[in-house]
């Protein structure tokens, strides 16, 4: 673990202390876990985006429906 010093305005510090207390954690641990979660979600998003962009586009068969044809169908068939 690496110890760091951070500077927060009074309002942010008070909010963080309350959040940490509600989770029965120290402020240090709460902020560390919050940053870790943010890092993990960011990494998962990047991975999912790379996978999605690597997929081949869908090849649709047949002609596209016109707007009139699409909305002429009963709603339960769409």
On average, the pLDDT of the chain sits at: 90
**How many Å apart are CA 16 and CA 48, to the nearest integer?**
30
H/E stretch holding 18 reads helix 10-22
Residue 76: which pLDDT band, with cuts at 50, 70 and 90?
low
pLDDT of residue 74: 74
In whole angstroms, give the CA distance from residue 57 to residue 21. Answer: 48
pLDDT score of 78: 52
Question: Is the pTM above the cut of 0.85?
Answer: no
pLDDT tens, residue by residue, 17-27: 999 999 999 99
**Confidence class for position 75, pLDDT limits 50, 70, 90:** low
């Amino acid at each position: 673990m690496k110890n760091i010093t951070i500077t927060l305005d009074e309002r942010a510090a008070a909010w963080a202390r309350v959040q940490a207390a509600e989770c029965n954690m120290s402020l240090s641990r709460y902020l560390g876990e919050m940053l870790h979660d943010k890092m993990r979600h960011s990494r998962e998003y990047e991975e999912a985006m790379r996978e999605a962009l690597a997929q081949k586009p869908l090849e649709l068969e047949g002609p596209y429906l016109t707007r009139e044809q699409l909305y002429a169908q009963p709603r339960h068939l769409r």
